[in-house]
Amino acid sequence: MSATTDLPQHAVPLVQPFPEPGPLVRLAYRELSIAATGTTEQIHALGDTRLLPRPWDPPTCRNPPLREQLWAWLDAVVTWLNTEYVWDVAGMIPACWPLHPHLIHDIAVLTDQRRSAGTALSSDAMEEWHRYALPAFNDRMRTRLANHCEDGHQPWPAKGRHTRHTNGSRDRRADAFTGDTRSLVTTFQPKAIPPRLGIVDTQTGEITNI
């Protein structure tokens, strides 16, 4: 009997591949690669490289179709992570992750580093990702979410304190900044140099004190 006929009737892979990004996200990575290692002419053709979209930092992806593909990719990666790396319910990335900016930022970086590790020619970067990046992400997620959103998205617990920070305390901070800036005027103001009389040699420019 052949090996293929020995397989179960409904064979499924034991592990799932890392999700591939859409074409616009791949183009963004290609342009970043050119900016890092391309020729002078290639880099010049990109324009201002500071404006290139960086998929690990979603706010830099300002093109709507690119942003749409980035969200689709990150969502697929979250599903992949929950499938491939989570066993206990405490480690699940919540379904409401797009409503948590801290998770968006973390997931985008984690996704980028996993993509980079997957394209490496050795397992070193993948080992680093497994040893440091993924556990660190899980620890931060559990610390920040605590027991919230276990049974669905919950309102922002820190909203009241954030409102006080952005509204009620703004004038107090502005006064502190202004006071600090004014202190520089008296503390670091250069001392006036008293005038001195002298004779200038028009031939050499040398000044002789009187």
77-93 tens-digit pLDDT: 999 999 999 988 778 89
Q: Choose between 178 and 103: higher pLDDT.
A: 103
Beta carbons of 31 and 51 less than 8 angstroms apart: no
Over range 46-71, report the average pLDDT. Answer: 97
3-state helix, strand, coil in the chain (%, to 5): 60, 5, 35
With tokens 């050119």, the residue in question is 34
**Confidence band for 191, pLDDT divided at 50, 70 and 90:** low
Distance CA(109)–CA(99), nearest Å, equals 17
**What is the predicted pLDDT for the residue at 4?**
56
Over range 9-16, report the average pLDDT. Answer: 86
**Confidence band for 146, pLDDT divided at 50, 70 and 90:** confident
Min mean pLDDT across 17-21, 23-27, 36-40, 195-199 is at 195-199
**What is the predicted pLDDT for the residue at 49?**
96
Q: φ and ψ at 152, to 5 degrees?
A: 115, 160
- Model confidence at 128: pLDDT above 60: yes
SS3 50: helix
Percent of the chain's residues with pLDDT above 70: 77
**What is the predicted pLDDT for the residue at 82?**
95
**What is the predicted pLDDT for the residue at 156?**
63
- Model confidence at 193: pLDDT above 80: no
Q: Choose between 158 and 186: higher pLDDT.
A: 186
**Confidence band for 137, pLDDT divided at 50, 70 and 90:** very high
Q: Which residues of 190-203 are buried (b: 16+ CB within 10 A; e: fewer)?
A: eeeeeeeeeeeeee
Beta carbons of 180 and 167 less than 8 angstroms apart: no
- Model confidence at 166: pLDDT above 90: no
**What is the predicted pLDDT for the residue at 17?**
96
Q: Is this model's pTM higher than 0.85 or not? A: no
- Model confidence at 184: pLDDT above 70: yes
Q: φ and ψ at 99, to 5 degrees?
A: -95, 5
Considering only CA atoms, which of 75, 61, 93, 85 is closest in space to residue 21? 75
